[in-house]
């Protein structure tokens, strides 16, 4: 059995089959605690992705500047 977090990730990646996606979305509507946990997970995931993206851009800029100097 997958953990909630594994389910959240599979859902956010768009990797659930149609029936699992519908079941997941019904649970989001019906279970407030599950929905709140999902929203927290999604917010943290988004923040981490933005941080990693910014870090990669900073490293790329540093490499470019080192190559010029």
Give 36-47 as a 3 state SS string.
HHHHHHHHHHHH
> Residues in the chain, how many?
69
Pick left, alpha or beta for residue 16 (phi over 0 → left; psi -120 to 50 → alpha; otherwise beta). Answer: beta
- What are the boundaries of each domain within the chain? 4-68
Least confident piece of the model among 31-35, 45-49, 55-59 = 55-59
What is the value of pTM for the model shown? 0.70
Residues 22-37: tens digit of each pLDDT: 999 999 999 999 999 9
Question: Alpha-carbon distance 53 to 50, whole Å?
Answer: 5
List, for residues 4-23, the tens digit of each pLDDT value: 899 999 999 999 999 999 99
């Amino acid at each position: 059995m997958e953990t909630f977090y594994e389910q959240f990730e599979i859902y956010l990646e768009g990797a659930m089959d149609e029936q699992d996606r519908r079941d997941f979305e019904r649970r989001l509507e019906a279970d407030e605690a599950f929905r709140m946990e999902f929203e927290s997970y999604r917010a943290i995931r988004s923040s981490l992705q933005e941080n990693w993206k910014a870090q990669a851009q900073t490293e790329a800029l540093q490499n470019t500047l080192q190559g010029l100097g």
